Amino acid sequence: MDVKEFIDQRVEEIKTIVGPEMAISALSGGVDSSACTVLAHWAIKDNMKVIFIDDGLMRKSEPQEVQKVFADLGITVEIIDAQDEFFMALKGKIDPEEKRKAFRNAFYTVFKKAVLDSGARFLIQGTIAADIIETKGGVKTQHNILDQIGISAEDQYGYKLVEPLRDLFKHQVREVAKELGLPEAIHQRMPFPGPGLATRVVGEVTPERVEVVRKATVIVEEEIIGLKPFQAFAVLLSDKGTGIDEGKRLFGDIIIVRSVESRDALTAEPTPIPWETLMTISRRITAELPNVVRVAYEITPKPPATIEYI
Ligand code: XMP
């Protein structure tokens, strides 16, 4: 792929599709939506608003960090606080696909309001090829793929979707992001799923349970980041295990540490992590999160496991 040619073509395409209308770009801060937002900014900067939905499922300080990166590029990002809507939609849901569908519906409902309130007719989003392949292949419902085949986004939601990266795989998106001038922190950023930490909380997704995973994720990222894995994160299981807290029995939480190597996320291998690093992670998680009594490192490739837990 000739990256410069790809960018020129997509910029022209976005200009033609959106024309003089208004569009909203859906930014999550991941490499896909970031590249997509900058592409769209190059194409239609004056007719575009960039929106970041704070769904309460982001990593620590993510909304503010993303806003800062884009401010440095001269792009204003509006953060919409929709945490209550997402936690309401996920309340009581245990089944992974039900959780994914609840997330997706909340995502489109919040965006529908944002798009229609601002008089926009287009939603620009960073869907990539793997999202489409996995949803159509029946692996799992990606938050950004509509499953009612034959019903367009316009009929369902009242706006048209623009997806300039839908033919690319992750490594190609990284090249495009670099060429677009995004900083390394973004173009080499670990993939983070649309439904955020909800994919790493097995069982009910509540603000309290998300906070446990968020804190454990900070530790995993801090300790493993030097190994430059494709993706590394923590998962909170719904099962519990017996442990000891100040001499007393505690039936507490179990955290799984997952780190994988991959090129396109369609297959993956566990990262061979040095034992000392694993022990540091285990000690830090149990010390910094007193209700966690067990930490395990996952050693399953994809397939048969998927990368995320739901
Ligand atoms: P799985 O868990 O299916 O993940 O092996 C493959 C890659 O996709 C990411 N992922 C998602 N990305 N929306 C996204 O934008 C989603 O719903 C979603 N689910 C998984 C995951 O982090 C991995 O990189």
pLDDT score for 150: 54
Residue nearest to atom 7 of ligand 1 (CA): 265
pLDDT by 10s per residue, the chain, length 310: 899 999 999 999 999 999 999 999 999 999 999 999 999 999 999 899 999 999 999 999 999 999 999 999 999 999 999 999 999 999 999 999 999 999 999 988 998 898 889 999 999 999 999 888 877 777 767 666 665 445 677 777 788 999 999 999 999 999 999 999 999 999 999 989 989 999 999 999 999 999 999 999 999 999 999 999 999 999 999 999 999 998 999 999 999 999 999 988 899 999 999 999 999 999 999 999 999 999 999 999 999 999 999 9
* Strand 231-245 to 248-261 pairing: antiparallel
pLDDT score for 204: 98
Cβ atoms within 10 Å of 139's Cβ, excluding its own: 14
Q: How far apart are CA 226 and CA 146, in angstroms?
A: 37
Fold entry, domain 201-298: GMP Synthetase; Chain A, domain 3 (3.30.300)
Q: Could you give the dihedral angle defined by the CA atoms of residues 65, 112, 125 and 151, in that order, rounded to the nearest 10 degrees?
A: 160
pLDDT score for 151: 60
DSSP letters spanning 166-204 = TT--HHHHHHHHHHTT--HHHHTPPP--TTGGGGGB-S-
Residue 282 in contact with ligand 1 by CB distance below 6 A: no
The CA 128 to ligand 1 mean position distance, Å, reads 11
Looking only at Cα atoms, what is the longest distance across the chain?
68
Tokens of 190: 């670990």
Residue nearest to atom 17 of ligand 1 (CA): 142
Tokens of 230: 């494709």
Bridge partners (DSSP) of residue 233 are 258
Residue nearest to atom 6 of ligand 1 (CA): 265
Residue nearest to atom 10 of ligand 1 (CA): 193
Strand intervals (E) in the chain: 23-26, 48-54, 77-81, 122-124, 160-162, 231-245, 248-261, 269-270, 292-297
List the domain boundaries for the chain. Answer: 3-187, 201-298
Residue 54 in contact with ligand 1 by CB distance below 6 A: no
Closest to 51 in 3D by CA, of 75, 69, 78: 78
Residue 307 in contact with ligand 1 by CB distance below 6 A: yes
pLDDT score for 184: 94
pLDDT score for 157: 74
pLDDT score for 149: 47
The CA 169 to ligand 1 mean position distance, Å, reads 13
Residue 26 in contact with ligand 1 by CB distance below 6 A: no
The CA 96 to ligand 1 mean position distance, Å, reads 13
**Domain 3-187, CATH homologous superfamily name and number:** HUPs (3.40.50.620)
Residue nearest to atom 19 of ligand 1 (CA): 193
Q: How far apart are CA 112 and CA 120, in angstroms?
A: 10
Q: In ligand 1, which atom is closest to the CA atom of 100?
A: 17
The CA 245 to ligand 1 mean position distance, Å, reads 35
